[in-house]
Amino acid sequence: MTERVPASGTVHWVGAGLSTGSGLADLCERAARVRLWHRTEERAAGALAGMGLTGRAEPRAFTLPALAAALAPGDVVVSMLPAPEHAALLSACVRARAHFACSSYVSPEVLDQVPAARAAGLVVLTEAGLDPGLDHLFAHSLIGRARAEIGPDTPADYRLTSYCGGVPAVPNDFRYRFSWAPLGVLNALRAPARYLEDGAEVTAARPWEATRPLVLAGETFEAYPNRDSVPFVEQYGLPAAWTARTFVRGTLRLDGWRKAWEPVFEELRAGDDERIAALARELAAAHPTTAADRDRVVLSVSLTVEAADRTWSGGYLLDLVGDEEESAMARCVSRPLALGVRHILDGSLPAGLNRAAETAARSALWLAELSDDGTDFDFRRDA
C-alpha cells in the first residue's frame, strides 16, 4: 500500500459563495496557513473581512493555473466550486500530490481519478457537508445502534427516511428561500427520483408529484424524494438479513410549498432547457435573498427496524436558524467539511476515497466533535 502523503498544514479554500461559513474560520484557527481563492483578490479580501478573518487567511485570485502553481505536496484543496469543476481541481491535486475535499456527491469524473489519487497516497474527501454529509453521519449512527440491538443476522424489515431542506426562517408566500442557484433547484426537480416503497423500487418522473406531509416535532412539512436513493442501501452497509420496506432520501419544504409552486411546476412540465434557464433568472429576480433574511435548515433522518421479537426505532433532527453572522446553510455545510479537513490534517483519514461517514464508529466520533463545536441536533429513541 502506498504511504499516505503527510499533510503540509496548508489549506487552499477555493470559492466563497453561500456555503462558505464558520468552517473556514475553524480552519484558520487550526491550520498552519489558509489561502482563500476567489474570483479576484479584492473579492477574496472582502469575503474575509465580512467573516472577520482579515489577516488570518491569505486572499488570492483564483484561476486553475494559479492554484496549481501554488500547490505543494501535502497541501489540502477544499473546493466550494460547483460540482462540475471538481474534477479539474482534483487532477491538479494529483499532479501536485495534494489532498482534496468537497461537500458534493461523487461525480463519475471524480471517481475516475480516485485510483490515481490513492496510488499517490492522497485523500479524496467527498460528501462531507450537510446533504450529503450530516445526513450520512445520522444514518450510519442509527444503523449502528439498530444493528447492535437487533443483530445483523436477524431477519427484519426496515424503513429509513432522510429528508433535508433549506427554507425561510419566517415563512413567505413563496414558501421558499433560495440557498443555492435557482437553475440548480429547478433542474433537480426535473430529474427523476428512484426510491424504495412497500418493498419495491419506485421511480417518480416528477419528484414533486410524490410530495407527502411529514410531521416533525409537531410541525407539518412537505417532503418528496430526489435523486437516486437506491445505491445508498449498499453505501450505508445495511445488513443483508434486513429487508427494505421503505428507503427514501429526499427534500423537505414548508407546508403549502406545492400549492405555492404550482405555476413553477407548469413551466417544468412544458419548458425546454432555454425556457427553464429563463425561468430561473425570473425567480431569482422575483424572490431575491437579502442581508436581512434569515434561513432555516431542517434535517430529519429516521430508522425503524422490526424483527419477529423486537423493534428498534429512532432518529435525528437538526433544526437550525441562521443569524446576522452566518446563514444556517453556510454553517451546516462548512462545519462538517472543515471537520473532515481537520482529519486530513491530523492523518486519520486514509488515502483514497472517503465520505463523511463510512462506519458507525466514525459517525459517532464526528457527531461528538460537531456537537462540541456547537452544531446542535437531537437524537431520539422511539422503541
**131 has catalytic annotation:** yes
Query: Do the strands 76-79 and 295-307 form a parallel or antiparallel pair, or are they unpaired?
Result: unpaired
User: Which residues span the domain enclosing 224?
Assistant: 134-327+359-381
Task: Tell me the per-residue pLDDT of 29-60, one tens digit each, with 9 for 90 and over.
Answer: 999 999 999 999 999 999 999 999 999 999 99
pLDDT for 19: 86
> Is 5 domain-assigned?
no
The residue annotated as part of the active site, out of 26, 75, 131, 135, is 131
What is the number of structural domains in the chain?
A: 2
pTM, 2 dp: 0.95
Q: Are 289 and 155 contained in the same domain?
A: yes
- Identify any residues that bridge with 12 across adjacent strands, giving them in sequence order: 35, 77
**115: phi then psi, degrees, rounded to nearest 5:** -60, -40
Query: What's the CA gap between 285 and 280, in Å, rounded?
Result: 9
> Letter for the amino acid at 121?
G
Query: Do the strands 212-216 and 10-14 form a parallel or antiparallel pair, or are they unpaired?
Result: unpaired
Are 8 and 31 in contact by the 8 Å Cβ rule? The answer is no
Chosen domain end from 125, 159, 174: 125
Q: What is the mean pLDDT of residues 315-332?
A: 95
Q: Are 197 and 303 contained in the same domain?
A: yes
Q: What is the mean pLDDT of residues 121-131?
A: 97
Query: What's the CA gap between 89 and 99, in Å, rounded?
Result: 10
pLDDT for 146: 98
Q: What is the mean pLDDT of residues 193-216?
A: 97
Q: Is the pLDDT of residue 307 over 80?
A: yes
Q: Are 89 and 158 contained in the same domain?
A: no
Q: Are 223 and 304 contained in the same domain?
A: yes
> Is 94 domain-assigned?
yes
> Is 3 domain-assigned?
no
Q: Are 181 and 272 contained in the same domain?
A: yes
CA separation, residue 52 to residues 44, 63, 93, 268, 330 (Å): 12, 25, 29, 41, 15
Query: What's the CA gap between 126 and 232, in Å, rounded?
Result: 15
**342: phi then psi, degrees, rounded to nearest 5:** -60, -35
**337: phi then psi, degrees, rounded to nearest 5:** -65, -45
Residue 185 neighbours by CB distance under 10 Å: 17
Chosen domain end from 108, 125, 142: 125
pLDDT for 180: 77
Task: Tell me the per-residue pLDDT of 237-272, one tens digit each, with 9 for 90 and over.
Answer: 999 999 999 999 999 999 999 999 999 999 999 989
Q: What is the CATH number of the domain that holds 148?
A: 3.30.360.10
Q: Are 58 and 178 contained in the same domain?
A: no
> Is 300 domain-assigned?
yes
Q: Are 253 and 364 contained in the same domain?
A: yes
Q: What is the mean pLDDT of residues 322-342?
A: 95
Q: Is the pLDDT of residue 291 over 80?
A: no
Chosen domain end from 125, 155, 184: 125
Q: pLDDT band at residue 1, thresholds of 50, 70 and 90?
A: low
> Is 335 domain-assigned?
no
